[in-house]
Amino acid sequence: MPGELRSALRRAGESSAFIALTGERALREAAASAARRQPLGPLDGMPVAWKDLFDVEGTRSTNGSATRRDAPVAVADAPVVANLAAAGAVCLGKTNLSELAFSGLGLNPHFGNPVNPLAPDRVPGGSSSGSAVAVADGIVDLAVGTDTSGSVRVPAAFCGLVGFRSSVARHDRTGMLALSPSFDCVGVFARDMAHVVAADAALRGVPARPVAAEPFRAVVPAGELVEDCAPEIAATFRSALSTLEKSGVDVERRPLPALIEAQGLMDRHGVLAVAEAVRRYGHLLDRPDGIDPLVLRRLSRYDPAGEPVLRAALGPLRRRLAGELAGAVLLCPTVRDPAPPVAPLLADLDRMESVNRRVLRTTMLLSYLGLPGVALPHGALPHAGLRGSVLLSVPDGGDDRLLAVAAAVAPLLG
């Protein structure tokens, strides 16, 4: 383990995925793990990385922003960090992200752009880009990020990983820099569901238990979530559905009116998560020097008139969607297009803004409706190294069932 850990620390130090390393802590935690006669659980001794907006004792939380390079050093771990440490996980360091966790592309002009290991010319997805890259590149086995509008599910799709966005109330968010308190969720990246399930339990401070497989029904929503996809994304999704149906899963294809109405409201009135982000970071518009231009553009596009409409509709739409699903799991492609190339985006801010909106369009809608989700890789896209991704989602609070279903589905999708 010491040799492997030192190699991982060296690679992390050379990687654009990391902003800070916790080398001394990692070596100390690894030594303690090796000295235990009985492992604490499935995560004991496993290297883990944290998105750089969680408090990790002795480090600054930059939130990917140059404005926080001199932020106070954390005097204690955030509760979720402490819980994972108590389960024996080895903290390797803190990962890069979109500035302020406010972009689905995962690029960062201040700390460098994390490089997608599957396709270095393409974006890794964001905002939890560094966390996804650290796992996809094999530096760590597990990484923790956050997901507001797609910030775990999108990079999981673009980097060929399993990505879990929890329900908002599932994990303690103390010691985590907020973007949108109503929608921010803790999320996990791994290469398999067993690690995701174990991490979810550890983050909550409860013992890890095997999830029990159970029969389930699936609904594929008619409309743009499936029909407005690039041909190669549509093809891999059809392949996934065929695989599930051949395995005995009951898959129904029908409209879900609550989804359609919610998307129409967002198209007319904006995004609630952006409204909350503006309240937290809108002051940056008065001193824009040194801020990511895409972040400034998104903050400046906010129209406060739509927020009351969106808030009033939120509860009724969530209840309607749960009724329309009637216990079924929602299935759709995680993203609508393959990961876009980086260079054209850096050359054209209008294009970057437009692509960012489309990258987040599916996951942002499901976030508005409160659905936890698991992105599972499936199939190969006709772009060197890239994979398709299937998103499983259930109504708010259904995380235990979602994880059980995803654990059963993952081996089927390969």
Neighbouring CB atoms inside 10 A of 313's CB total 19
CA pair distance 395, 367, nearest whole angstrom: 10
Which is nearest to 165 in space by CA: 392, 390, 322, 362? 392
Catalytic residue among 16, 33, 51, 128: 51
- Has 246 been annotated as catalytic? no
- Has 61 been annotated as catalytic? no
CB 264 within 8 A of CB 367: no
Neighbouring CB atoms inside 10 A of 396's CB total 16
- Has 149 been annotated as catalytic? no
Q: Can you list the alpha helix ranges (DSSP code H) found in 114-256?
A: 129-136, 153-159, 193-204, 224-227, 231-246
CA pair distance 170, 172, nearest whole angstrom: 7
CA pair distance 84, 222, nearest whole angstrom: 40
Neighbouring CB atoms inside 10 A of 354's CB total 12
93's CB contacts (< 8 A; 6+ apart) are 9, 12, 18, 19, 20, 21, 22, 23, 26, 49, 50
Which residues are paired to 378 by β-bridges? 388
CB 191 within 8 A of CB 161: yes
Catalytic residue among 65, 149, 151, 180: 151
Which residues are paired to 20 by β-bridges? 94
Catalytic residue among 127, 129, 180, 367: 127
Residues acting as catalytic residues: 51, 127, 151
